[in-house]
Amino acid sequence: MVHAAAPVARRYHDLTPHTPDSVRSGGHTLDWDNKPFPFKVYTDIPGLHLPREVDVLATPTLAAIAGYGPPPRPRLTLSALVSLLYYTAGVTKQKTYPGGGQVLFRAAASTGALYQTEVYVIVGALEDLSPGVYHFCPGDFTLRRLRDDDARGALASAVANATPGRAAATLALTGIVWRNSWKYRARTYRHLFWDGGTMLANALAAGTALGLAPRVFTGFVDDAVHKLLGVDGAGEVALALVSLGPQTASAPSGRAPVAIAHATVPLSRHVVDEPLVTHAHTVSALQTPDDVARWRHGRAPASLAAGGPTVALPTSESQEGRALGETIQRRGSTRHFARVPIALDDLGAALWAASRPVPADVPSAFTDIYMSVHAVDGLAPGTYVYRREEHVLERLEAGDFRRQAAFLCLEQPLGGDAAVTLFFLSRLEGVLAEFGERGYRLVNLEAGLAGGRAYLAAYARGFGATGLTFYDDEVVRFFQPRAAGHDAIFVVALGHAASAAGGVLGLTTIAAPTRRS
């Protein structure tokens, strides 16, 4: 289905780039006294403390990313759900700073460690958990029951698909705008989906490793989902849903869910609105189940047409590398890269993992991966683009581009010190023509998911990764003429960490839940 252009998304994107000038003249100072609290705390609902024992997730990481796991579970148990929540959004590490400040780092990467992505679970048929809608708080490792009806029928209707109505449970990811916009202001709209995407990478891989056949839904009647979760749809917005577990008998369609409004601790003293974010989200909402069904029929962009000469990448062996549980436990953003090479099959594995199809309600492959190669054994330094169907790199330009790559990544040395820096670019106009304003959500979510998978592949194979932000137009210019008509969406740098500790300097792995095989 071809939409008219998506003027609001386009305008939002064009108004929120980073440029050397915007970074120098930005003048935004952080109001530390008004920093939002990183956990959502309900004050009127008792917490159900979850068992502090989680599965080890023995499935090899790359296999789990590709959707190969143990046979489906006959039923979803609370203990499998707890494992899924921990590896998706749990606290995996903590760092104490001089002066006593403490950051609790989570399973998935998040811009600025601000952790605006919240997780809810719509539960239907679990042996040891009553039906209802729950909020997961990673801080005290609890679920809080926000409503006690079986909401799956209403969810299926909002999603215009029977699966969430029969799924044992469905995760709902939301973004709390102010928790991120406190630092990143209007650019937060991108971050909501990037960080939602890195979290989805974990949820899908962990769901597969737990035999829960996870499936993502990006199309839904926004207001209906907000009402089910009891969020306002402005300060906190639904990003994506993930159905889990065996299909059971359909939930009763029942009465329309009543509105809920539970009290929560304010995020900070006051909230600053970001009208660009609110507008981009509002205009991309879907109003009725019919709208959802129609929207979902958009097509994926055609694969990248063949260009210049190519280099074949080794075939990835999905059984190699660390098990998923260990990978997620070790993951962290590399803070300094050693200027040492990674192997060609390591790069191949990261690209392969990043590009696996997504089990979702819409097609995937909304971004193309361009890269600046600095130190990969057997590969001449220079720029390349990945052609996913053929699993080959197309050569663009030979040369040592470390300095340029660091510049493109907002002048951060990480972008140039990495063995390779991946730039996710999108033929955005085509996606917006197919999927309208909501296509912008898809592009950013999928790029975050692909980047999250690249992180996992790196830690599975014993090297490191970090997400990076970037100078939008300079990135596209750098990859011209091949990248004509593209927009820059996301960046991940890969390489060995400069510390023996595997790249997470000064962090301690916390005594998180015991891991059970």
- Shortest distance, position 418 Cβ to ligand FMN, whole Å: 12
Q: What is the 3-state secondary structure (H, E, C) of 173-209?
A: EEEEHHHHHHHHHHHHHHHHHHHHHHHHHHHHHHHHH
Q: Which residues of 351-382 are buried (b: 16+ CB within 10 A; e: fewer)?
A: bbbbbbebbbbbbbbbbbbbbbbbbbeebeeb
Cis peptide before 481 (omega within 30 of 0): yes
Report the nearest approach of ligand FMN to the CB of residue 455 (Å).
8
Residue nearest to ligand FMN (CB): 467
Distance CA 327, CA 161 (A): 33
Which residue's CB is nearer to ligand FMN, number 264 or number 355?
355
Minimum distance between the CB of residue 108 and ligand FMN, rounded to whole angstroms?
Answer: 8
**Cβ closer to ligand FMN: 214 or 332?**
332
Cα end-to-end span (Å), the chain? 47
149 backbone φψ class: left, alpha, beta (φ>0; ψ -120 to 50): beta
Nearer to ligand FMN, 147 or 190 (CB): 190
Tell which phi-psi region holds residue 345, choosing left (phi > 0), alpha (psi between -120 and 50) or beta.
alpha
Q: Whole-number minimum distance, CB 23 to ligand FMN, in Å?
A: 11
Q: Please, which residue, 245 or 332, has the CB nearer to ligand FMN?
A: 332
207 contacts 160 by C-beta, under 8 angstroms: no
Asked if residue 477 lies in contact with residue 397, where contact means CB atoms within 8 angstroms, the answer is: no
Q: Which is nearer to ligand FMN, 110 or 163 (CB)?
A: 110
Nearer to ligand FMN, 169 or 176 (CB): 176
CB of 410 to ligand FMN, least distance (A): 6
Please report, as ranges, the residues that interact with ligand FMN according to CB under 6 A. Answer: 105, 109-113, 194-195, 198, 332-333, 410, 412, 414, 466-469, 504
**Separation of alpha carbons 173 and 131, rounded Å:** 19
Least separation in angstroms between residue 111's CB and ligand FMN is 5
Q: How far is the CB of 273 from ligand FMN (least distance, A)?
A: 23
Q: Considering the complex, what minimum distance in angstroms separates the CB of residue 164 from ligand FMN?
A: 27
With respect to ligand FMN, which residue has the nearer C-beta, 165 or 452? 452
The residue (of 109 and 347) whose beta carbon lies closer to ligand FMN is 109
Strands, E assignment, 27-141: 48-49, 53-55, 91-96, 102-106, 117-123, 132-137
Calculate helix-pair angle for 188-209, 439-460, nearest 10 degrees: 50
